[in-house]
Amino acid sequence: MSITIKQLAALAEEFEFDLAEARSFLGHTEPKKRGRPSKGSDSDSDDGKPTTKCVGSTCKAQTKTATKTASKAKIDTPREKRSPTGYHLYMASVSTKVGDSLKKATKDGKLSRGAVASEVGRLWQLLDEKKRDSWNTKAKAA
C-alpha cells in the first residue's frame, strides 16, 4: 500500500509531525523542479548589495530584457557574407522566368515563393555537368 504526498501532508497536519522527516522516512524525495534554474542568488554580489532570487513575473521580465539586449548586439554587429555559389547565380538569373511560367500555369495566377524555389532546384538538378561547372566557375570568379 502506498501513500500519496497529499495524504501524508494531511496526516502530518492532523498528528503534528514533521512532514519532511516523514517523507524521508517513507522514501518520498522532493520532486526536482523542472525548467531552467533561476539566475538570481542569495549571495552577495560584487557591489556589496545582496541580490534576490527571481520570483514569478520579475524573473521573466529580467530575462526578456537581457534577451532583447543580446539580440540587439547581434543585429548591430556586421556579419561576414558568404560568397554566392553557382546555384545562387543560376537561381538569380532563372527565377523570374520560372515564376512567370508557373503563374501562367496556375488558374488564379497566385504563386508561392517555395514553388519557384523548388522548380529552380529541379531545373538545377537536370542541368548537365558542364553547365553546372560553368555556373560554379562564375561564382568563384565573383
The per-residue pLDDT string of the chain (142 residues; one tens digit each, 9 = 90 and over) reads 677 778 878 888 888 878 787 777 777 777 667 777 766 544 444 454 445 555 555 554 444 455 555 555 556 667 788 888 999 999 999 988 988 888 888 878 788 768 888 999 999 999 999 999 999 998 888 7
Is residue 29 within 8 A of residue 23, CB to CB? The reply is yes
Query: Is residue 107 situated within a structural domain?
Result: yes
Query: Is residue 13 situated within a structural domain?
Result: no
Query: Is residue 36 situated within a structural domain?
Result: no
DSSP H stretches of helix in the chain? 5-15, 19-26, 57-76, 86-105, 113-126, 129-141
Query: Is residue 41 situated within a structural domain?
Result: no
Q: Rounded to an integer, what is the distance from CA 30 to the centroid of its chain? A: 31
Query: Is residue 64 situated within a structural domain?
Result: no
124-132: Cβ within 8 A, 24+ apart: 124/87, 124/90, 124/91, 127/90, 132/86
CB atoms within 10 A of CB 17: 12
Q: Which domain holds residue 107?
A: 86-141
Query: Is residue 91 situated within a structural domain?
Result: yes
Query: Is residue 18 situated within a structural domain?
Result: no
Total number of domains constituting the chain = 1
Is residue 138 within 8 A of residue 92, CB to CB? The reply is no
3-state secondary structure of 44: strand
Query: Is residue 6 situated within a structural domain?
Result: no
pTM of the model: 0.44
